[in-house]
Amino acid sequence: MSEFDAIVIGAGPAGASAAIRLASSKKNVLLVEKSDPPGSKNVSGGVLWGSSLSSIIPDWEKSAPVERFVDTKSVAFLTQDSKIGIDFSSKKLQQKKTGYTVLRAKLDQWLARKAKEAGAMVINGVTVEKLHMENGKVTGVEQGGDVITSDAVILCEGANPRVAIDSGLHKRLSDRDVAIGVKEVISLPEATINERFHLKSGAGFACEYVLGYLQNGVEAGGFLYTNKDSISVGIVVSMSHLRQNDATHSFDIIESFTGHPYIAPLLEGGNMQEYSAHLVQEGGIGSMPKLYGNGYMIAGDSAGFSFSNGLVLQGMNYAIDSGIIAADTFIEASKGMDYSESALKLYQDRLESSYVMKDMRTFKGIENVTWSPFVHKKVPAMLESLMLNLFMEEGKPKKHMTGMLLDAMSENDMLKASSIMEAYRMMRRM
């Protein structure tokens, strides 16, 4: 007989959510986390979109360590001298509060406490070395020569799924599968943040940037999110571009981003509280492993559930939902005490019916948009040309808007057949 009904590896949003659901259903569950406390090794943390947590923690917004609700959402292109942005604010965002900025160091600890309160055994500071296998079935985990057995294991290791890779359940990561995320947390007084971003108390600002000014073939995106009394700012840079370039470093890129003339004033006078880097899943559905098998399921970033189309970054909501779906699949399988591959296929079926997998399939190939010279070089330069023609008054006759747009596109070689096709493919994937 197994020591636990289920073991969950990783106490991030996916793992903690799975453990909460399992423990709330009276399952004997062990949640194992390598960092102590949970969240101390996590870099991601920005906006938690959606209400996924409400199914396991009703009214979670009232007790969770959220920072601010997103009142203003922006997307911007940066060139060396300019910022071209789209800002969206709405009373509907204020009323529904569907997005909250969070700090993972706080959120993950809170989720782990909720798992413990629900009845899960939570162990921090322990690194699972490998899965324990018997006759081709996962039957527990191994650490330091000790074996802890369970009926099934849910792997929620994050973007670098070492245990799954070493166990042959996930292919080794390539440059195509991941990017590097570098993040700083800059402390500033709440009143200063409110004034600089034109926010009322409790309201927040979230923006993603295309860094169109980088040289030497390197492509990166930036982000900036306001917390209560700090700002999360960082970059996500293509791993393959860094390797090909072999001269530009990720720390150079974040320094150039935070020093940009339209970013630096937002951070002025702040003190750095945190500086960290981590892998970020970028491969999309083409990088996903098989998500289930004899005695195991894979959820969250380990499964590749991360999404970016250049306008929105999402991952935590997918992690929470996939963790809950994995837990529900285990609960269903436990009725027949069958944790075989055929029984756990229900996990895949339920994912396919959820918005998680529907989004992954809808935006298949989106990584070819987010990491393309067209988006990172031509679009920012074209927009800058268009805006300069629109708004710079030099005592010359103005053209119609269509003429200005065609001129801006022509200046940046966007009227060629290849560029037109690239724009068409970009719109289809977005």
Q: Where are the domains of the chain?
A: 4-61+103-171+289-364, 66-102+174-282, 372-429
Closest CA to 326 of 280, 295, 362, 283: 295
CATH code of domain 4-61+103-171+289-364? 3.50.50.60
- Parallel, antiparallel, or unpaired for β 178-187 and 83-89? unpaired
* Residue 428's pLDDT band (cuts 50, 70, 90): low
Locus of tokens 């039957």:
139
Predicted local confidence at residue 429, as pLDDT? 57
Confidence of residue 372 (pLDDT cuts 50, 70, 90): confident
- Which residues, in sequence order, are CB contacts of 242 under 8 Å at separation 6+? 180, 218, 248, 249, 250
> Amino acid letter at 102?
V
Q: What is the pLDDT of residues 116-174, one digit of tens each?
A: 999 999 999 999 999 999 999 999 999 888 999 999 999 999 989 999 999 999 999 88
The rounded mean pLDDT for the chain is 90
Show Cβ contacts of residue 76 under 8 Å, excluding neighbours closer than 6 positions.
Answer: 83, 84, 85, 86, 207, 208, 209, 210
Please give the sequence-ordered ranges of beta strands (E in DSSP) within 243-300, or none if there are none.
Answer: 271-281, 292-293, 296-298
Distance CA 362, CA 423 (A): 18
Distance between CA 20 and CA 372 in Å, rounded? 40
Question: Among the residues of 221-315, which ranges form H helices?
Answer: 239-245, 250-258, 264-267
Please state the rounded mean pLDDT for residues 336-342.
97
Helix, strand, coil shares of the chain, percent, nearest 5, are: 40, 30, 35
What is the second-level CATH architecture of the domain 66-102+174-282? 2-Layer Sandwich (3.30)
Q: How far apart are CA 298 and CA 301, in angstroms?
A: 9
Q: How much is the average pLDDT of 39-53?
A: 78
